[in-house]
Chains A and B, each alone.
Chain A
Amino acid sequence: MILAEAIEVTRRYGDVIALDNVSLQVAEGELVGLLGPNGAGKTTLASLITGVRRPDQGRVTLCGGDPRDPRTRKALGVTPQETGLPATLRVGEVVDFVAAHYPDPVPRAELLDQFGIADLAKRQTGGLSGGQKRRLAIALAFVGRPRVVVLDEPTTGLDVQSRRGLWDAIKAYHAGGGTVLLSSHYLEEIEALADRVVVLGHGRVLADDTVTAVRGMVGVRRVSFALAGEPPALPGVVAVERHEDRTHLLTPDSDALVRALVASDVDFRDLEVAPTSLEEAFLAITKEPATAAA
């Protein structure tokens, strides 16, 4: 069964086209990653599926119904943005408020325990750390025992340990048959969780494929080194940047590039190979229209 679907959806804000004829299907039990740089349209797509906004054209369904209808949303769990928690309310109160909207909510103590914030129940949310707020925000998506959850950038700005903890919670929900649509601009996060990934860029679907296939497409690495003078011509370079005396090369195949660099016999120093952020990868790829047209 299809639990969330967008059919040829277009959404504008004034003159800006946020989504341009986007179609997407999420079947029951799937964990789909929505990947794209900031401004790609991820949040807008999430807001259409969660019933916050209406598409200008096209149709959106959630569990077979209209997401604008509150009854349809009884089966939906959503994460508020971390900055959006009401600062004066206590953690327990926020959970109770959200729980009041669902017929069979998870008991408060159980939920807080699952997300490792049981000891914070009496604290006002304004006094929580960024990581604690994130945990609470994600916990809220699961209060109502949803059939489908939409998580928009769930772990942005978290340290590695908290991130892994939250990933485990999302995995556990998915293992129990839950359906997840997860947006992120970290490829790493999508890789850790999703089976399938939809890549958005400039409001269009650039790719809808397995994680491995998309990884090959956007898995661009940055090879950087200090070098006096111009770098030699090297294979597989999609972008060149120079900052002061350092040269940065973006490439899908860093191994081949480094071999060629060593073989070229130039006098480089401080070689570094690092994964790029998705944003960099996208910038590099969209400069090369042939690569982006997947």
Chain B
Amino acid sequence: MTLALVHARYQLLETIRIPIALIGSAFFPAASMLFFVVPFAGDDPVAATFATASMVTFSIMVSSLFTYGVGVADDRSQPWDGYTRTLAAGAGPRFAGRILAGMTMALVSLVPVVLIGALFTEATVTPAGFLLGLGTVFVGALPFTLMGLAIGYALPLKAALVVCQVIFFPLAFGGGLMSAPGQAPGFIQAIAPYLPTRGAVELMWAAVGDYPVRPLSLVMLAVWTVAAGAVAVWAYRRDEGRRFH
């Protein structure tokens, strides 16, 4: 456990020393808030709250995919990663440390979204709803964290970058993150429950507002989580760092 904290601490130190990386993961969701949510749904308390919850989910997804997918693939390309494998720490502390650091970064990148929601829209949330939403962040981040780890451990850096860029967009639109509950176009309504983004955003909507979660979305969220976890473990086990030295 202490080792997990040590690994998390040094990962965060490395990230913080290059602050532009932080701005990158916070920018897209914050910009989406300003361009889409504030002008179109900002005046309606219910719509603004749901839309902010969607952007929070979007932000978690993007930062998880990129932090782990690209971050892990990048680390694996560095000789330092090969060295840390010779230290007396197994997969557990290194995985846990990485996830702790990633979660911290994800929470930090949520701050602008939540601030814009609170200051520039009519979005409201009860203190209990806020705490529930905070807890939901961790549940919702799980499948995307595992997907990111699977990508990061399975692919070289350049491929990981492309895969993350290619999948985050359909996951966001297909899951209905860009439309209010029940307002998405028909074909998205049809495919959304089968995407992990939908289960995550429905949980978030239910946490901060009045939304009945659909069982199908939750079951599929669980399926995605287990599947992504299995791929992540497989990719981690077969990974030996760079192939050639």
Known: A13-B243, A73-B86, A101-B88. A93 touches B80 (CB 8 A): no
Does A83 lie at the interface of the complex (its beta carbon under 8 Å from any beta carbon of B)?
yes
In the complex, which residues of chain A have a beta carbon less than 8 angstroms from the beta carbon of B214? none
In the complex, which residues of chain A have a beta carbon less than 8 angstroms from the beta carbon of B78? 84, 86
In the complex, which residues of chain B have a beta carbon less than 8 angstroms from the beta carbon of A89? 10, 13-14, 17
Does A25 lie at the interface of the complex (its beta carbon under 8 Å from any beta carbon of B)?
no
In the complex, which residues of chain A have a beta carbon less than 8 angstroms from the beta carbon of B166? none
CA distance A51 to B241 in the complex (A): 12
B61 to chain A: closest CB distance in Å?
27
CA distance A286 to B78 in the complex (A): 34
Are A50 and B86 neighbours in the complex by a CB distance under 8 Å?
A: yes
Those of A58-83 within 8 Å (CB) of chain B: 69-71, 73-74, 76, 78, 80-81, 83
| Nearest-neighbor residue (CB-CB) of A100 within chain B | B6
Chain A interface size band reads 20 to 34
Are B86 and A71 neighbours in the complex by a CB distance under 8 Å?
A: no
CA distance A13 to B2 in the complex (A): 36
Does A88 lie at the interface of the complex (its beta carbon under 8 Å from any beta carbon of B)?
yes
B51 to chain A: closest CB distance in Å?
37
| Nearest-neighbor residue (CB-CB) of B75 within chain A | A86
In the complex, which residues of chain B have a beta carbon less than 8 angstroms from the beta carbon of A2? none
Known: A52-B241, A89-B10, A89-B13. A70 touches B80 (CB 8 A): no
Does A144 lie at the interface of the complex (its beta carbon under 8 Å from any beta carbon of B)?
yes
How many residue-residue contacts, CB under 8 A, span A and B? 75
Are B240 and A93 neighbours in the complex by a CB distance under 8 Å?
A: no
Does B223 lie at the interface of the complex (its beta carbon under 8 Å from any beta carbon of A)?
no
Does A246 lie at the interface of the complex (its beta carbon under 8 Å from any beta carbon of B)?
no
CA distance A86 to B89 in the complex (A): 18
Known: A85-B80, A88-B17, A100-B3. A93 touches B85 (CB 8 A): no
B225 to chain A: closest CB distance in Å?
27
Q: A47-B245, A93-B10 are in contact. List 10 more A-B contacts (CB 8 A).
A: A52-B241, A81-B83, A88-B18, A89-B10, A89-B13, A89-B14, A93-B13, A100-B6, A101-B88, A140-B83
Residues of A within 8 A of B (CB): 13, 43-44, 47, 50-54, 69-71, 73-74, 76, 78, 80-81, 83-86, 88-89, 93, 97-98, 100-102, 124, 140, 144, 150
Residues of B within 8 A of A (CB): 2-3, 6, 10, 13-14, 17-18, 78-80, 82-83, 85-90, 240-241, 243-245
Q: Which 3 A-B pairs have the closest CB atoms?
A: A84-B79, A80-B83, A88-B17
